[in-house]
């Protein structure tokens, strides 16, 4: 179950994160209490741009398709469904029957469609009137059609209709979007690809550090991936199995949680392991286990059963929760509900949050009651700047001391995408609730007004340096000055964080795409 603080901080960034291009689960999310998550959207855009970088083969296909469109024998209108897609054939031996449309080609066959499809094989037959291509042996397929997923595949036994954009391919290996895939059988449709007895990973290594294997994989470009009878592997070791799994660009069934375990070290907990597991119970209900084990405290996990649909999340949660300042509480249990919705066709979003349950922390048991309302505006963009605005009102009651804290909050964050290497952010946050007027210090600052700011510098494709700061405006003093080093290790990432005000270290290893 997502903590309320995380939901509030993320609210102003949500609309931007929804726009991140790419395929399933490509989004990166920072772990921070200095506001550096404001740079996530910029980092995701840069990561996507690197993923979308064209290969020499893809550039050549686009150039050939563009050149073909300039040298047509007769005009072609792509909106006219009665016209067939222009196709060019090359080969050592070509035969073509103009009456029936039947053709055959042998020896270094190259078939180019004007919509940026390419088929290459040694033996091809088909029919231009039916827009059908048949390859009985090995084939290479390249697709760069605008608005469709980029595909590079090598396989056998191709039967494809380039008019309907449907077909099949056997025993193939390649890439669809950012997904490296293999399968015994591929089925192609205009809006998705189906793979049977296949594997999927975003790790490009010949022997990937992690992958998923499934009896059926359905890839919906720029939307989601659905899998049946899926197994999760680290190298060749199976660590998890599920009957059905969905992962989409908004987080999927697992709410954006990593499918693979993360390990790390910090001065407070020592070595730790985190792993999110979930089980679909049907009718939009899911059981989640957020496993967290530390050397110092042992088992610190939490669990929930949650209904999630159409902007509403509601469920019961139990277990230990930790904030960014290593403050812990235990819910024993709590009922947590949130609702998010856009106001009509406007640029405004509103949200409602409630929680009722038992909290335990620092030797204190209390019945914790919370209610809050949120209002935010779509990100305001100009030039290379983005402004996020949000406000709300919170009400908290604790039975232990019969305390009540009611008050407003306000958040404003400005980010600047300076260039491909540099990015920066600055933010102002106000909340009536603070440690002085609250029973628990979990999820709570010891001041009401704070400023945050920092910058990111990309050294190269594998290394990024980040500085994040938090300034206590109530007491006019620095509260956090943190330094980060992100190091890409091909299919995993090492994150080193130094909190200079506490002289403490945190090391995290996680598999991409997080």
CA distance 133 to 105: 11
Domain ranges of the chain: 197-248, 249-511
CA distance 283 to 126: 46
Find out whether 413 and 15 touch, Cβ atoms under 8 Å.
Answer: no
| Contacts of residue 6, Cβ cutoff 8 Å, sequence gap at least 6 | none
Q: Rounded to whole angstroms, what are the CA distances from 181 to 116, 154, 197, 239?
A: 21, 11, 11, 20
pLDDT by 10s per residue, the chain, length 514: 445 444 443 333 333 332 222 333 334 455 667 889 888 888 878 877 877 889 999 999 999 999 998 888 888 887 777 777 788 888 888 898 989 989 999 988 999 989 898 999 999 999 988 889 999 999 999 999 887 888 999 999 999 998 888 999 999 999 988 889 999 999 999 888 999 999 998 888 888 888 999 999 998 877 788 999 999 998 888 888 888 888 765 444 444 445 688 888 888 888 989 888 888 898 999 999 999 999 888 899 999 999 999 999 999 999 999 887 788 999 999 999 999 999 999 999 999 999 999 999 999 999 999 999 999 999 999 999 999 999 999 999 999 999 999 999 999 999 999 998 999 999 999 999 999 999 999 988 889 999 999 999 999 988 999 999 999 999 999 999 999 999 988 788 899 999 999 899 999 887 765 3
- Three-class SS of residue 360? strand
Question: Considering the domain 249-511 in this protein, what is its CATH number?
Answer: 2.40.160.50
Beta-bridged to residue 471, according to DSSP, are 451, 478
**Is residue 79 exposed (0-12), middle (13-18) or buried (19+ Cβ within 10 Å)?**
exposed
| Contacts of residue 346, Cβ cutoff 8 Å, sequence gap at least 6 | none
CA distance 408 to 45: 33
Query: What pTM was computed for the model?
Result: 0.79
**Tokens coding 440:** 């628990």
Find out whether 87 and 112 touch, Cβ atoms under 8 Å.
Answer: yes
Q: How many CB atoms lie within 10 A of CB 293?
A: 17
Tell how far CA 148 is from the center of its chain: 19
């Amino acid at each position: 179950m997502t903590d309320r603080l995380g939901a509030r901080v993320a609210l102003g960034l949500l609309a931007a994160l929804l726009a991140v291009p790419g395929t399933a689960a490509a989004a990166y999310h920072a772990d921070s209490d200095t506001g550096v998550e404001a740079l996530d959207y910029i980092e995701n855009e840069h990561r996507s741009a690197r993923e979308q970088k064209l290969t020499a083969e893809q550039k050549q296909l686009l150039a050939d398709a563009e050149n073909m469109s300039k040298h047509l024998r007769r005009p072609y209108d792509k909106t006219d469904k009665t016209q067939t897609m222009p196709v060019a054939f090359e080969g050592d031996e070509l035969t073509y029957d103009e009456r029936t449309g039947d053709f055959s080609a042998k020896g270094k066959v190259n078939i180019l469609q004007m919509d940026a499809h390419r088929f290459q094989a040694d033996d091809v037959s088909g029919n231009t009137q039916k827009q059908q291509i048949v390859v009985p042996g090995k084939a290479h397929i390249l697709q760069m059609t605008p608005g469709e997923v980029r595909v590079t595949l090598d396989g056998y036994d191709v039967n494809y209709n380039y008019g309907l954009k449907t077909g099949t391919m056997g025993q193939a290996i390649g890439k669809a979007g950012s997904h490296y895939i293999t399968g015994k059988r591929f089925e192609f449709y205009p809006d998705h690809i189906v793979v049977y007895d296949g594997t999927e990973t975003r790790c490009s290594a010949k022997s990937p550090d992690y992958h998923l294997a499934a009896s059926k994989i359905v890839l919906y470009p720029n939307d989601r991936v659905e899998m049946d009878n899926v197994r999760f592997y680290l190298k060749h070791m199976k660590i998890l199995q599920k009957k059905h799994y969905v992962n989409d660009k908004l987080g999927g069934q697992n709410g954006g949680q990593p499918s693979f375990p993360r390990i790390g070290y910090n001065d407070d907990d020592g070595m730790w392991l985190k792993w999110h597991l979930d089980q679909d119970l049907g009718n939009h209900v899911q059981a989640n286990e957020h496993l967290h084990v530390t050397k110092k405290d042992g088992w610190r996990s939490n669990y929930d059963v949650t209904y999630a649909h159409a902007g509403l999340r509601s469920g019961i949660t139990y277990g230990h929760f930790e904030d960014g300042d290593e403050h812990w509480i235990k819910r024993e249990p709590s009922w947590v509900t949130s609702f998010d919705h856009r106001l009509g066709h406007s640029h405004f979003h509103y949200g409602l949050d409630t929680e009722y349950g038992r909290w335990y922390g620092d030797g204190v048991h209390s019945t914790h009651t919370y209610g809050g309302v949120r209002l935010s505006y779509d990100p305001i963009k100009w030039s290379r700047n983005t402004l996020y605005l949000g406000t709300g009102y919170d009400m908290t009651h604790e039975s232990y001391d019969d305390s009540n804290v009611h008050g407003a909050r306000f958040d404003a964050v400005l980010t600047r995408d300076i260039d491909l290497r540099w990015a920066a952010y600055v933010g102002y946050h106000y909340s009536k609730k603070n440690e002085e007027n609250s029973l628990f210090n979990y999820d709570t600052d010891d001041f009401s007004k704070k400023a945050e700011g920092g910058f990111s510098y990309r050294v190269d494709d594998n290394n990024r340096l980040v500085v994040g700061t938090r300034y206590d405006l109530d007491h006019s003093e620095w509260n956090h000055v943190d330094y980060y080093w992100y190091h890409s290790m091909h299919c995993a990432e090492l994150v080193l964080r130094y909190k200079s005000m506490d002289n403490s270290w945190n090391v995290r290893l996680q598999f991409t795409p997080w």
